[in-house]
Amino acid sequence: MSTATASTLSHGTATSLPPARKPRPVAEFLSTYVFSKDHKVIGLQFLFSTLLWFLIGGLLALAVRWQIAWPWSDVPVLGKLFAQQGGQMAPEFYTMLFTMHATVMIFLVIIPILAGAFGNFLIPLMIGADDMAFPTLNMLSYWFMWPAFLLFGASFFVEGGAASSGWTSYPPLSTNVNSAPGSGWGQTLWLLGLTMVGVSSMLGSVNYMTTIILMRAPGMTMFRLPMTIWAMFITAVLQAFALPVLTAAGFMQLTDRMIGTGFFTPEGNVVNNSLASTGGGQPLLWQHLFWFYSHPAVYIMILPAMGMVSDILTTFARKPLFGYRPMVYSIAGIAGLGFIVWGHHMFMSGMNPALGITFMVSTMMIALPSAVKTFNWLGTVWGGRIQFTTSMLFALSFVSMFIIGGLSGIFMAATPVDIFIHDTYFIVAHFHYVLFAGTAMGVWAAIYFWFPKMFGRTMNEFWGKVHFFLTFIFLNGTFFTMHILGAVGFPRRLADAYHYETFHHLQPLNAFMTYCAIGMVASQIIFAANFFWSMFFGPIAGRNPWNSNTLEWSAPSPPGHGNFDFQPVVYRGPYEYSVPGVEKGHLMQTDPPNALATAAAAAH
Amino acid sequence: MGSRLGGIFWSLIFLAVPVLGVATFAIAPSYNIWLPKNVSEHGSSIDGLFYFILALTGVVFIATEGLLFWFIWKYDAAKAKGPATYIHGSHTLEVVWTIIPAATLLFLAIYQMNTWADVKMRRPAMAPTVEVVARQFEWRLRYPGRDGMLGTRDDLFLTNDLHLPVDEDILIQLKSMDVLHSFFLPNFRIKQDAVPGMKIPVWFKAKETGQFDIVCAELCGWGHYKMKGRVTIESRADFDRWLEETYARQEATQPAPEDTVAAAAD
Amino acid sequence: MNASAISLPHGHDGHSHSHDDGHHDGHGHHGPVLQYQPGLPLSRGKLIMWLFLSTEIMFFAALLGSYVVLRFGAPVWPKPHHVHLSEPIGAFNTFVLICSSVTIVLALESARANKAGQAKLWMLLTLLLGTLFLGVKGYEYQAKFSHGIFPQSPRSRIYEKPDLYYGSAVRARLGDPVIIDKLKELDDTPADKLTAEQVSARARLQQIRKMVASPEQQAFDLAVVADQVMPLPTEGPGGSHAGDGGGHGGHASGLNDIFPWLKLPAVIPGGNMWASTYFLLTGFHAIHVLVGLIVFTILLGYKLGPKDAGKIENAGLYWHFVDLVWIFLFPLLYLF
Ligand code: HEA
Ligand code: HEA
Ligand code: CUA
Ligand SMILES: [Cu+2]
């Protein structure tokens, strides 16, 4: 594997070169920026689309928070647009809000921004390839997102509104058209949109795997890959094996709704005073199929961030990654174990409690590889020379926040405790810590870090730090308090819980959280301004503004078509920082060994 | 990049995480933002487990966040002298920090099993005290009446107003007519989804009398938020009296439902 | 922020003859043709095909898993004969598909041996066998449809048990104006224009109509009606239907078979869920067959010489997979 023969090397890139085109201005523009097959352009297309949806998802979250803090009070702006009763939210509108908030955030933001934007942009660059193995397929994987964007987007405007049975879409609520006002076209469009996201991810994942297996630069053995690539690789494996199950299940739910196959409807189901026309199915079957995908999916939503954070931490701690191989094995461990823990979402579902015990044990075990990762990050920071760039601050906060989100997972993994906290805000706290405070912070770290490679300019550090500071404060204000809210048993997905004696004193706390959420969303204006301003007016970055080691930093910023203006050859692992005896302190993967000798000689 | 002051500032921000985190948990009980009063027999072992995990994760939390702060503080490039330590890892450390959490988690996994079995697996051998049928958006209750059997002519029907005797084993038969619901009694540390097509037993023993909330904890449609019931725990004597009175009221206001109708609801 | 702290091992020289193919990229860089160190001795096309097939395995695994769960969770499940599945037809189709897997291999061999003409023939044969499979499948579907077995809302013509809902469905069907006319026509047909079987069936049908028309619906046994409409044959030779009063067990000609236009609702316990899963599994399989056929048609447009062997091989891999899925489906659906 490590020594490439001349014959294997020579079979080459000819297949992946885009066809020749005549340079006509409009066609040129279209082929460069719209129907581009260049992985970098596709990556940026994903980035811009997902950031836009991030904003939408954030605004939906604000509407959710508004209702929880001040139930049935007039909603500013949104209320005028949508709600029926003079600006006041209807309860079914609330169910739609959090369903679509989660759907947008998960399927249109986090998954595509990690795999689609960063996966696309970084994989060929970091392994020394000129593009993906199948550029056309790659382009299609972006264009399959558009039907999804349109279907989800359109569903807000159909009769009855968008899907409103939670992002988990549990039947019979989701399959029986009589069961909810929003259960008309909205739910059907939701299922179709999901299928499109599925096709997109599937096209992407097989392409990524092929590229990483076959198109690494000479000398780039598997164990010299940067953690980002390892994470993307294993994420692609997860997607390829878990997603088809959701696609199958989604289709079954679709036929249940459209033609009444009844897979998930029990016999004799009476909804809204009318007997369901079909039956004989099992509601729990959907939950099994859904979580068989969606548990691995939560790792799809964090592994790439973990990989990117590892690379950023080492760069700005100026230190080799602590325990490279354990880090790789733990990603693989998380992915492997991730397939056998799905039942921990179903402890209270009526599933056999004995089965619950086996899921509990496997869930406990999945904390182990995460523990290994956490300790190795700490080991990486230890003894480093930390440079407080915005990117580093976000990366450090990823570690800090992931610990919180992970530890709350232990409470829920403990089945008896889950009896009390299941479907309360404790869960909501847990997954916002891993998803928002974890992954989204990791994504920001990555944006600040690779922005120079994407646009050839660096983002403004001062405003970046202001953005970090405000986001960090407000996010903890919003989400940390959810833990204690959950400890009271405050249920999730309730439009108004204050009429319960147990919960009526919790409104002020919720109002506080909503203020923080407003602050959090408002802080993003700074980010958006910084982002767009820097794209055009930021200081020009050279090839390697952070003195980092991996291959992409030896290419021009931004890299041209074909990425490299030389043949990259890899001589070492990606984390050679603060190498003793090397004057510039770090050794890029492409620095030839004789550079080490000369540098060592120069040092004496 | 970054002055010395910057490093101090950012380290303190990261120190604030464990400090404020612990503080939040410490003061929450005094604002009554904490576990609601427990009145069931098994609830104390669930709470005990909660506190145990809180302590365990609390230690891990303070230790890891503390270390993170300390490293950020100490290894600020603007402050620390010389280059970073050139080290690629430590085999011993990897083994240690795999084995210790593994042992801890395995212990936790085994330690909690008994409680789980008590609440969900060791069903008391008795006839159901009451049948609870969830429906959009109410709790329909059916008591077996004098003959102690469900599905007979003297069944007692009620909605949302559950009465149960104190200090006795209670077995609820949980069903749903339409979609998923979840029978959540915060003060009893009881939660169980109601699944159409399934009969799921739920059991517990109340330690105290009083009135408590029944919450629906599984999204069941637009009215999910208002699917509220009340459970009244009373002495056996009070309970029997209430049963008699309610039964008499039912007899007076409506003819006894046919057996067939009752059976059809099964 | 020093940009130049990089040493370029090969600089701009070396391999930079590269892809000057007239394409003009936005940044004006023209890199060399890059060399790689492949981790597996496979072409890109073949590797991605294998990976794609592994996602397909998970897809069908989910469907098959659901089938198993639904089937063993169901209180009753119909025997293959209750739902008019014929093992010989299924076995024949299995055979057809296996043959087509052989012919595609032969096409590949011929292409590799530079016998393009032969390769075309084998490919055409594969296409024909695949089409034959779909044709047989279509015939089988037609048989199900004509017995009212299909998943549809509100209900197909299949009922779980002969209950009140069933009774009213029968009454509704018999009250349909179109059927009333047809029935009148049947009543008026002289007996010598009908076969013996039809005559006796007509008598039984008249009895049922009388029963259904009578106001006391409890007075007759809907189970008997169901049995007349579509008797459920028992397994094994010479066996007769349990609780069978009419003496016509064993052979499955109920009223619906004798008078196909009648389309009376029938009782098949577990039949609806059976239909849902049957059409789900075989439907997705058929879609995959169809995709294969489209691929073969496209391939027929190529020369099919050694240069196209890679394409044939990938198509063949896919086709073997589709074949394999059927090898699982056939026993699950037809034999158990
Ligand atoms: C990126 C997303 C992500 C990640 C990484 C995780 C990680 C984990 N999750 Fe989470 N989870 C979600 C996203 C995620 N989850 C979502 C979205 C839901 C809700 C879905 C819904 O219902 O809508 C959910 C729900 C959920 C449930 C269901 C709760 C319920 O509905 O009742 C459970 C139960 O076990 C659980 C457990 C865990 C565990 C044990 C981990 C572990 O992997 C965490 C491991 C990490 C650590 C433990 C921290 C670091 C380790 C150390 C510092 C070492 C020392 C530690 C010890 C010795 C304890 N999660
Ligand atoms: C990745 C996933 C993700 C993310 C990021 C978020 C982000 C947020 N969520 Fe999310 N949430 C979920 C996933 C997520 N959520 C899920 C899965 C559920 C469960 C749903 C269910 O029950 O079915 C849920 C439910 C949920 C609830 C519970 C509702 C209920 O149960 O009743 C609440 C309540 O407070 C909430 C609040 C928030 C808030 C305030 C944010 C904030 O963090 C949002 C902040 C947003 C921004 C900061 C926007 C930033 C914008 C940009 C960066 C764009 C910049 C633009 C350019 C450069 C062009 N969410
Ligand atoms: Cu019933 Cu929610
Ligand atoms: Cu999970």
User: Region A329-347: what's the mean pLDDT?
Assistant: 95
Do B138 and B187 sit in the same domain of this protein?
A: yes
- Distance CA(A229)–CA(A394), nearest Å, equals 20
| Residue C24 scores a pLDDT above 60 | no
* Residue B205 covered by a domain: yes
Cβ neighbors of A101 (< 8 A, separation 6 or more) are A57, A60, A61, A64
The string of pLDDT tens digits covering residues A532-551 is 999 999 999 999 999 999 99
* Residue A564 covered by a domain: yes
Q: Chain B neighbours among A 429-488 (CB < 8 Å)?
A: 469, 472, 476, 480-481, 483-485, 487-488
Do B139 and B235 sit in the same domain of this protein?
A: yes
The counts of H helices and E strands in chain A are 22, 2
Closest CA to A413 of A368, A476, A477: A368
- Closest residue in chain A to residue B109, using alpha carbons only: A361
The counts of H helices and E strands in chain B are 5, 10
DSSP calls for A511-579 = HHHHHHHHHHHHHHHHHHHHHHHHHHHSPBP-S-TT---SGGGGS-SS--TTS-SS-----S-S---S-
The answer to whether the CB of C63 falls within 8 A of the CB of A248 is yes
User: Region A31-57: what's the mean pLDDT?
Assistant: 91
The shortest CB-CB distance from A566 to any of C32, C56, C276 is to C32
Probe residue for ligand 1, chosen from A341, A368, A431 as the CB with the greatest number of ligand atoms within 8 Å: A431
Task: Tell me whether residues C22 and A21 touch, CB distance under 8 A.
Answer: yes
- Distance CA(A220)–CA(A550), nearest Å, equals 11
User: Which residue's alpha carbon is at the smallest distance from atom 1 of ligand 3?
Assistant: B181
Task: Tell me whether residues C273 and A277 touch, CB distance under 8 A.
Answer: no
pLDDT for A185: 84
The string of pLDDT tens digits covering residues C296-311 is 999 999 989 899 999 9
- Longest CA–CA span in chain A (Å) reads 88
Q: Which residues of A touch C35 (CB under 8 A)?
A: 4, 9-10, 12, 217-218, 567
- Distance CA(C301)–CA(A410), nearest Å, equals 59
The shortest CB-CB distance from A488 to any of B36, B75, B189 is to B36
Reported confidence tier of residue C233, pLDDT bands at 50, 70, 90: low
- Closest residue in chain C to residue A247, using alpha carbons only: C59
DSSP A274: E
CATH code for the domain of B207: 2.60.40.420
pLDDT for A2: 37
Q: How far is the CA of A476 from the centre of ligand 1 (A)?
A: 18
The answer to whether the CB of B256 falls within 8 A of the CB of B146 is no
The shortest CB-CB distance from A563 to any of C31, C35, C40 is to C31
Do B42 and B112 sit in the same domain of this protein?
A: yes
The string of pLDDT tens digits covering residues A439-455 is 999 999 999 999 999 99
CA Rg, chain C, in Å?
A: 30
B218 lines ligand 3 (CB under 6 A): yes
| Residue A595 scores a pLDDT above 80 | no
Q: How far is the CA of B222 from the centre of ligand 3 (A)?
A: 9
Which domain, by its residues, includes B249?
130-264
The ligand whose atoms approach the alpha carbon of A476 most closely is: 2
The residues that bridge with B157 in the sheet, in sequence order, are B142
Task: Tell me whether residues B90 and A91 touch, CB distance under 8 A.
Answer: no
| Nearest 10 degrees: Cα torsion B17, B20, B21, B27 | 180
* Residue B21 covered by a domain: yes
pLDDT for A85: 55
| Residue A3 scores a pLDDT above 80 | no
pLDDT for A24: 65
Do B103 and B158 sit in the same domain of this protein?
A: no
* Residue B95 covered by a domain: yes
Reported confidence tier of residue C22, pLDDT bands at 50, 70, 90: very low
**Count of structural domains within chain A:** 1
**Count of structural domains within chain B:** 2
User: To which residue do tokens 């795997």 refer?
Assistant: A209
Reported confidence tier of residue A4, pLDDT bands at 50, 70, 90: very low
pLDDT for A123: 97
| Residue C243 scores a pLDDT above 80 | no
The shortest CB-CB distance from A261 to any of C37, C151, C270 is to C151
Q: Chain C neighbours among A 187-216 (CB < 8 Å)?
A: 202, 205-207, 209-210, 213-216
* Residue B167 covered by a domain: yes
What does the block give as tokens for A288?
């099994």
* Residue B229 covered by a domain: yes
| Residue C238 scores a pLDDT above 80 | no
What does the block give as tokens for A488?
């009271």
Cβ neighbors of C64 (< 8 A, separation 6 or more) are C281, C328, C332
The answer to whether the CB of A250 falls within 8 A of the CB of A263 is no
pLDDT for A34: 74
Q: Which contiguous run of DSSP H or E holds residue A270?
A: strand A270-271
B227 lines ligand 3 (CB under 6 A): yes
User: Which residue's alpha carbon is at the smallest distance from atom 38 of ligand 1?
Assistant: A409
- Closest residue in chain C to residue A583, using alpha carbons only: C5
Q: How far is the CA of A208 from the centre of ligand 1 (A)?
A: 27
DSSP calls for C197-253 = HHHHHHHHHHHHHHHHHSS-GGGS-HHHHHHHHS--PPSSTT---TT--SS--SS--
Phi, psi torsion values for B181, nearest 5 degrees:
-135, 175
The residues that bridge with A271 in the sheet, in sequence order, are A274
Task: Tell me whether residues B191 and A403 touch, CB distance under 8 A.
Answer: no
- Chain A contact present for B262, CB below 8 A: no
Do B97 and B188 sit in the same domain of this protein?
A: no
Closest CA to A62 of A74, A75, A50: A75
Do B109 and B171 sit in the same domain of this protein?
A: no
- Chain A contact present for B132, CB below 8 A: no
Q: How far is the CA of B226 from the centre of ligand 3 (A)?
A: 8
A371 lines ligand 1 (CB under 6 A): yes
> How many CA atoms lie within 13 Å of A485's alpha carbon, on the beta-carbon side?
31
* Residue A552 covered by a domain: yes
Reported confidence tier of residue A269, pLDDT bands at 50, 70, 90: confident
The ligand whose atoms approach the alpha carbon of B178 most closely is: 3
CA C239 to chain centre: 30
Do B248 and B180 sit in the same domain of this protein?
A: yes
Question: Above pLDDT 70, what percent of chain A?
Answer: 92
Residue of higher predicted confidence among C17 and A368: A368
The ligand whose atoms approach the alpha carbon of B218 most closely is: 3
DSSP calls for A123-161 = HHHHHT-SS-S-HHHHHHHHHTHHHHHHHHHHHTTSTT-
- Chain B contact present for A328, CB below 8 A: no
* Residue B125 covered by a domain: no
What does the block give as tokens for A525?
């204006």
* Residue B85 covered by a domain: no
pLDDT for C324: 96
Task: Tell me whether residues A544 and C5 touch, CB distance under 8 A.
Answer: yes
- Chain C contact present for A130, CB below 8 A: yes
Reported confidence tier of residue A83, pLDDT bands at 50, 70, 90: low
- Distance CA(C61)–CA(A247), nearest Å, equals 12
User: Region A186-210: what's the mean pLDDT?
Assistant: 94
Task: Tell me whether residues C12 and A553 touch, CB distance under 8 A.
Answer: no
| Residue C18 scores a pLDDT above 70 | no
User: Region C7-29: what's the mean pLDDT?
Assistant: 38
| Residue A295 scores a pLDDT above 60 | yes
The answer to whether the CB of A219 falls within 8 A of the CB of A571 is yes
Question: Above pLDDT 90, what percent of chain A?
Answer: 78
User: To which residue do tokens 């600089």 refer?
Assistant: C11
All chains having 3 or more CB pairs closer than 8 angstroms to chain B: A
User: Region A431-443: what's the mean pLDDT?
Assistant: 97
Do B171 and B103 sit in the same domain of this protein?
A: no
Reported confidence tier of residue A271, pLDDT bands at 50, 70, 90: confident
pLDDT for C154: 58
ipTM: 0.91
pLDDT for C11: 36
B181 lines ligand 3 (CB under 6 A): yes
Q: Which residues of A touch B106 (CB under 8 A)?
A: 364
- What global pTM score does this model have? 0.92
What does the block give as tokens for A360?
């509990």
Q: Which residues of B touch A385 (CB under 8 A)?
A: 75-77, 80, 83-84
CA Rg, chain B, in Å?
A: 27
Do B115 and B135 sit in the same domain of this protein?
A: no
In tens digits, chain B (266 residues) has pLDDT values of 446 778 899 999 999 999 999 999 999 999 999 999 999 999 999 999 999 999 999 999 999 999 999 999 999 998 888 889 999 999 999 999 999 999 999 999 999 999 999 999 999 999 999 999 999 999 999 999 888 888 888 889 999 999 999 999 999 999 999 999 999 999 999 999 999 999 999 999 999 999 999 999 999 998 999 999 999 999 999 999 999 999 888 888 876 555 444 444 44
Do B96 and B182 sit in the same domain of this protein?
A: no
Contacts 24+ apart (CB under 8 A), A425-428: A425/A482, A425/A483, A425/A485, A425/A486, A425/A490, A425/A491, A425/A492, A426/A482, A426/A483, A426/A485, A426/A486, A426/A487, A427/A486, A427/A492, A428/A482, A428/A486, A428/A492
User: Which residue's alpha carbon is at the smallest distance from atom 13 of ligand 2?
Assistant: A102
* Residue A603 covered by a domain: yes
Q: How many CB pairs under 8 A join A and C?
A: 273
pLDDT for B265: 43
The distance of A392 to chain B (nearest Cα, Å) reads 11
Which domain, by its residues, includes A549?
540-604
Of the listed ranges C12-16, C31-35, C76-80, the one predicted with least confidence: C12-16
The ligand whose atoms approach the alpha carbon of A444 most closely is: 2
Do B213 and B236 sit in the same domain of this protein?
A: yes
Of the listed ranges A29-33, B82-86, B97-101, C282-286, the one predicted with least confidence: A29-33
Q: How far is the CA of A369 from the centre of ligand 2 (A)?
A: 27
| Residue C279 scores a pLDDT above 60 | yes
Reported confidence tier of residue A277, pLDDT bands at 50, 70, 90: low
Average model confidence (pLDDT) across chain A:
90
The shortest CB-CB distance from C62 to any of A220, A245, A278 is to A245
pLDDT for A121: 97
Of the listed ranges A122-126, B23-27, B118-122, C221-225, the one predicted with least confidence: C221-225
pLDDT for C180: 84
Q: Which residues of B touch A165 (CB under 8 A)?
A: 219
* Residue A556 covered by a domain: yes
The shortest CB-CB distance from A419 to any of B65, B179, B190 is to B190
pLDDT for A601: 53
Do B135 and B260 sit in the same domain of this protein?
A: yes
Preceding amide of C154 cis, omega within 30: yes
User: Region A240-261: what's the mean pLDDT?
Assistant: 92
* Residue A555 covered by a domain: yes
Residue of higher predicted confidence among B264 and A24: A24
pLDDT for B56: 96
pLDDT for C167: 78
Task: Tell me whether residues A210 and C44 touch, CB distance under 8 A.
Answer: yes
The ligand 1 atom at the shortest distance from the C-alpha of residue A418 is 32
The distance of B252 to chain A (nearest Cα, Å) reads 27
The ligand whose atoms approach the alpha carbon of A527 most closely is: 2
Q: Which contiguous run of DSSP H or E holds residue B190?
A: strand B190-194
- Chain B contact present for A496, CB below 8 A: yes
* Residue A203 covered by a domain: no
Q: How far is the CA of A521 from the centre of ligand 2 (A)?
A: 10
Reported confidence tier of residue A152, pLDDT bands at 50, 70, 90: very high
| Residue A596 scores a pLDDT above 80 | no
* Residue B83 covered by a domain: no
pLDDT for C177: 84
pLDDT for A599: 55
Reported confidence tier of residue C204, pLDDT bands at 50, 70, 90: confident
